[in-house]
Amino acid sequence: MLQVTKAEDVIDHGLSLGADFAELFVERSLTNAISTLSNQVQSVESGIDFGIGVRLVFGSKVLYGYTNKTEADELKRIMGELAAMDLRDPRIVIQAFDYSAPIEHHPAHRILSADADVDSKVAYLMAADAAARASSNLISQTRGACRQKEQRIEIFNSEGLHTTDARNYVRATLTAIASDGQEQATGMWSDGGLLGWEIKEQVDPKKTGDEAARQALVNLSAKACPSGRMPVVIGNGFGGVIFHEACGHLLETTSVAKKASVFHDKMGEMIANEAVSAVDDGTMVNEWGSINIDDEGMQTQNTQLIKDGRLTSFLVDRLGAEQTGFERTGSGRRESYKYAPASRMRNTFIEAGNAEFDDMISSIDRGIYAAQMGGGSVQPGTGEFNFAVTEGYYIENGKIQYPVKAATLISTGPAVLKEISMVGKDFSLACGMCGSVSGAVPTSVGQATLKVDDILVGGQA
Amino acid sequence: MSIASQAEQILDRVRAAGAEGDLIIDQGEALSLKAKDGALEEHKVTSSQVFGLRVIKDSRVGTAYSEAADGESLTALVDQALLNASYAAVEAHEKILVNALKLETQDAQLSPSDHTTVAEKIALALAIEAKLAAKPMVKNVPYNGVQDSVGERRVYSTTGLEARSKARMMQCYAYALIESGDKNAMEGLGQAARRFVELDPDRLVDQAYQNTLDILQGAAIPSGKYDVIFDEEVLPSLFQVFSMMFSGKSAKDGVNPMRDKLGEEIADSKLTVRDLPLDTDGFGYTLFDGEGTPAQALCLIKEGALSSLIHNSMTGSYFKVASTGHGTRGPRSTLGVGLHQLEIDAGTADDTALQAGEYLVVTDLTGLHSGANPISGEFSFGASGYLCRDGARVQPVRGITVAGNFYELLKRIALIGSVQHWNWARSAKMPSIRFADLSVSG
């Protein structure tokens, strides 16, 4: 996408300003997004994202800029403005580029630059809508979305790196709205992955519609949620957002290097109940959070974060490695050329255990079963987090009693990790978008159903 | 080729295809600085440009955008928008407005020249971090920065509209992480101004520090019902989360619970809510909306009664009312509606009345994006703040949740204060409101 001679000229210019490291991140992405409202196409949108990110490093200082233009003079102008306060004699010379194409671990066939497959995607969303509305006449409406992206990147840096990659993302979502004339409630189901529209061979629109409708109907009948401290059983799949928020963000060197993470000095220590082992794996074939190489050009890895409760690794990008001394883990990620890379999660999950679901429920006198989780957020400095329960049930005397609504779970990362006492066998992953310092990147969360012995539940009852 | 010439070429292609359309071109330049341990951690310089096209052909709408401005990409932009339109359902209500207005904001007012050097801005970023880090018990200042951004928007249409707005915003912000024994806390805030000299870093540092120190020893309070006052930062966020209640588009789509309640009492009679886009004191100032319709003041809730929804030309056409000038459309987004600058009328309660007895002041809510359901109005948020009695703080409060139904909450307004406050981003101006009997879990 960028001429090698031009890249060499610009990076050489960056080094001539005295930078220790210079990098160009070139991106051209195609996007296509289809939205439906019940059985009608609401919109089809498409776009071209194009830009070049410029990173200069002077010691521990990171200078970053971007432009939509490709002229060498514009790239050098950005570099000049960035380095204006740091000009010094050149420290290093550029290494000759050694092009390496990444090994393609995530094959994609029906990609956007070949065909947007609008008719097929619309048919999928229509089938999901039909299934949802067929399940009950209380389903008043559905909203469908199918989004596909083809991101092509090219990276050059002053250490001689020159590599390219293509990432193909696709995600289809249906939200069902149930209404009884007085109240409305929603349910949602989503499938996605790092592949092309061939995903339609793996997903079932009827299941999507049925599941979205089922959740909406459950929530429509839900009662107010009890509040207070109590045990909570958290469902598999997207329930893994608890680990993502409570722990994953705190293991990114973006927070660790600043000592803004409560875990920054806990390497090798027990930070979780020994029932907990956790992984961040970027290599899982065609999974939503996977990558071939990270956004700094390093081949990605499977990183064991916690083993039997003990902290074994952080998520480390290039800058984080320099700041903390830990080895890079292929975790440097960014939403686009508009962001400098930072250490980020990929497919992050608690590994399966041996507990039985029924044993978890029967062990609780008064508590909550959070079957489906929504999003959440965490304050890395203190580890305080919150996340929403989107499908919940009240447990009493060891039995699930009735659905509850509008519940939030509040705790801190260190506290909740020590309260996970039982981990089940029904492991699964789910798609999400994770927003942080380097933008929103696709990540998977996951876990088997697990039990937290004590956590604050915010409800209205 | 000039921007205007590129726009003309694009719209000529749209006309040649037998369609009508409008084109948004956003350009911007920004500087962002962050400090860490006495040195600059981030120094970001950006320039951006994006073309966003909407076409309507045979009553079908298609959109496309391109950040690449070469001839091939801009040709593809038109072709893709037309192709997308061919898949869309017929939308008889969405039209390109017959609007040949020439609208332009005043640069001297909204985008004043500022000759502050980069070195001075860097010095400010370093000073904010250093001063805050030097305060007692401050472990570090994990989030801080200075930003200077200028954004320019042009809107052109096949009917002759030419609208241009340009605005500058300078911001600084800081968050302190304080540790004492086994307690820690992180709080912060920011400031926004049009000119560098209007920023007051010493006040920022003192407020960020004091806010963090005050909340450090916070603890949960017993679960129960409390009167609650959301502070000037939190209250606008809460209204923003549930702003769908004013949306004509959500009403058209059938998901706005206020759809059929125009003229009905939906809130306590003390509440009057307006959108005031032409208030130049705020950073939500808007001369024209995403369709080029001139923005105007609009009363949304008048003494408790829902007096208007917000509309663009499409939702206005659907409900047979005029656009209220609340169309939103960016280069990458389709036509929607959105508030510009929400203001709530001052009430009559003085501080003595507002702060009588026991109440909870909420200074922070977490989980705003995940803990709310705008369709049902239900919410459950993490919260922190202060338990107060008769105007005095009794204890800092952390680790609690507040939960309820926003639409029911609007009917449980006990008192509205007599003084309006801007939030720090100067996007909303509201008085203190005391809500009765909110569920708190501790």
User: How is A24-41 classified by DSSP, letter by letter?
Assistant: EEEEEEEEEEEEEETTEE
The answer to whether the beta carbons of residues A30 and B67 sit under 8 Å apart is no
DSSP secondary structure letter of residue A251: G
Rg (CA), chain B: 24
Domains contained in chain B, CATH given:
3-214 (3.30.2290.10), 218-442 (no CATH)
User: Which chain B residues contact residue A42 at CB under 8 A?
Assistant: 88-89
Backbone angles phi, psi at A252, to 5 degrees: -80, 135
CA distance B310 to B335: 13
User: Which chain B residues contact residue A46 at CB under 8 A?
Assistant: 63-65, 80-81, 84
Interface contact B30, partner A, CB < 8 A? no
Nearest-CB residue to A258 (from B47, B76, B142): B142
DSSP secondary structure letter of residue A389: E
CA distance B116 to B122: 10
User: How is A137-152 classified by DSSP, letter by letter?
Assistant: TTEEEEEEEEEEEEEE
Q: pLDDT for A237-294, tens place per residue?
A: 999 988 998 889 999 999 899 888 889 999 999 999 998 999 999 999 999 999 999 9
In this prediction, residue B291 carries a pLDDT of 95
From the CB of residue A12, how many other CB atoms can be counted at a distance below 10 Å?
15
Convert B4-36 to b/e letters by CB count within 10 Å (16 or more is b).
eebbeebbebbeebebbbbbbbbbeebbbbbbb
Burial category of B159 from C-beta neighbours within 10 Å (exposed 0-12, middle 13-18, buried 19 and up): middle
Q: pLDDT for B318-352, tens place per residue?
A: 999 999 999 999 999 889 999 999 999 999 999 99
Interface contact B123, partner A, CB < 8 A? no
In this prediction, residue A374 carries a pLDDT of 84
CA distance B100 to B116: 38
Tell if the CB–CB gap between A85 and B142 is shorter than 8 Å. no
Chain B: residue whose CA lies nearest to A374: B370
The band of B139, judged by pLDDT with boundaries at 50, 70 and 90, is very high
Q: State the average pLDDT over residues A286-308.
A: 96
Q: How far is CA B181 from CA A397, B184, B185, B239, in A?
A: 39, 8, 11, 37
Chain A: residue whose CA lies nearest to B36: A258
Distance from CA of B42 to the nearest CA of A (A): 5
CA distance B142 to A457: 29
User: Which chain A residues contact residue B62 at CB under 8 A?
Assistant: 44
CA distance A78 to A83: 9
Flag whether pLDDT at A459 surpasses 80. Answer: no
Distance from CA of B69 to the nearest CA of A (A): 8
DSSP secondary structure letter of residue A238: G
Nearest to A153 by CA among A342, A338, A343: A338
Tell if the CB–CB gap between B88 and A118 is shorter than 8 Å. no
CA distance A361 to A448: 14
Nearest to A24 by CA among A59, A74, A75, A62: A75
In B, residues 48-67, which contact A (CB 8 Å cutoff)? 48-50, 61-67
Structure tokens that stand for B22 in this block: 């409008």
The answer to whether the Cα torsion of B196, B202, B207, B209 is positive or negative is positive
Tell if the CB–CB gap between B64 and A45 is shorter than 8 Å. yes
Chain B: residue whose CA lies nearest to A377: B367
User: Which chain B residues contact residue A18 at CB under 8 A?
Assistant: none
List the single best residue of B43, B126, B149 to mutate versus A (max A Cβ within 10 A): B43
Q: How far is CA A345 from CA A18, A63, A411, A416, A434, in A?
A: 32, 23, 21, 19, 8
Nearest-CB residue to A85 (from B67, B119, B255): B119
What type of residue is A115?
D
Flag whether pLDDT at A60 surpasses 80. Answer: no
CA distance B199 to A143: 44
Chain B: residue whose CA lies nearest to A44: B84
The answer to whether the beta carbons of residues A406 and B378 sit under 8 Å apart is yes
Q: Strand pairing of A302-307 and A310-311?
A: antiparallel
Flag whether pLDDT at A419 surpasses 90. Answer: yes
Nearest-CB residue to A48 (from B48, B67, B223): B67
The band of A412, judged by pLDDT with boundaries at 50, 70 and 90, is confident
| Three-state secondary structure call for residue B319 | helix
Q: Strand pairing of A347-350 and A342-343?
A: unpaired
Interface contact B269, partner A, CB < 8 A? no
| Three-state secondary structure call for residue A201 | helix
Tell if the CB–CB gap between B63 and A82 is shorter than 8 Å. no
The band of B376, judged by pLDDT with boundaries at 50, 70 and 90, is confident
Nearest to B323 by CA among B340, B309, B344, B334: B309
DSSP secondary structure letter of residue A226: P
In B, residues 5-24, which contact A (CB 8 Å cutoff)? none
Tell if the CB–CB gap between A141 and B255 is shorter than 8 Å. yes
Nearest-CB residue to A65 (from B45, B253, B441): B45
CA distance A280 to A248: 9
Tell if the CB–CB gap between A85 and B118 is shorter than 8 Å. yes
| Three-state secondary structure call for residue B404 | strand
In this prediction, residue A413 carries a pLDDT of 84
List the single best residue of B61, B187, B244, B255 to mutate versus A (max A Cβ within 10 A): B255
What type of residue is B75?
T
Nearest to B294 by CA among B11, B104, B10, B69: B104
CA distance B261 to B308: 10
Q: Strand pairing of A347-350 and B336-337?
A: unpaired
CA distance A157 to A14: 10
Nearest-CB residue to B223 (from A50, A227, A255): A227
User: Higher model confidence: residue B425 or residue A383?
Assistant: B425
Average per-residue pLDDT for chain A: 93
Tell if the CB–CB gap between A259 and B439 is shorter than 8 Å. no
Nearest to B415 by CA among B429, B436, B430, B394: B436
DSSP alpha helix (H) spans, A136-240: 205-220
Q: Which of A66-70, A101-105, A336-340, B11-15 has the lowest mean pLDDT?
A: A101-105
Say whether the ipTM exceeds 0.95. no
Tell if the CB–CB gap between B367 and A387 is shorter than 8 Å. yes
Flag whether pLDDT at A382 surpasses 80. Answer: no
CA distance B284 to B85: 32
In this prediction, residue B250 carries a pLDDT of 95
Nearest-CB residue to B68 (from A68, A340, A388): A68
List strand residue ranges (DSSP E) for A158-271, in order: 161-179, 184-193, 223-224, 228-234
Q: How far is CA B137 from CA B142, B184, B214, B396, B399, in A?
A: 14, 10, 12, 18, 21
User: Which chain B residues contact residue A118 at CB under 8 A?
Assistant: 87
Torsion on CA atoms A157, A158, A161, A163, rounded to nearest 10: 30
Interface contact B76, partner A, CB < 8 A? yes
In this prediction, residue A401 carries a pLDDT of 96
Nearest-CB residue to B382 (from A46, A118, A410): A410
Q: pLDDT for B298-325, tens place per residue?
A: 999 999 999 999 999 999 999 999 999 9
**Cross-strand pairs, B165:** B153
Chain A: residue whose CA lies nearest to B74: A48
Tell if the CB–CB gap between B378 and A258 is shorter than 8 Å. no
What type of residue is B209?
Y
DSSP alpha helix (H) spans, A111-203: 118-135
Chain B: residue whose CA lies nearest to A70: B68
User: How is A270-321 classified by DSSP, letter by letter?
Assistant: B-S-TT--EEEES-STT-TT--SB-TTSPBP-EEEEEETTEE---B--HHHH
Structure tokens that stand for A244 in this block: 């993502």
Distance from CA of B332 to the nearest CA of A (A): 7
Backbone angles phi, psi at A85, to 5 degrees: -95, 0
User: Which chain A residues contact residue B332 at CB under 8 A?
Assistant: 45, 47
List the single best residue of B61, B122, B237, B441 to mutate versus A (max A Cβ within 10 A): B441
pLDDT > 90: percent of chain A: 81
Nearest-CB residue to A78 (from B45, B68, B118): B45
List the single best residue of B79, B84, B211 to mutate versus A (max A Cβ within 10 A): B84
Nearest-CB residue to A177 (from B36, B77, B255): B255
The band of A388, judged by pLDDT with boundaries at 50, 70 and 90, is confident
Nearest-CB residue to B441 (from A122, A388, A458): A458
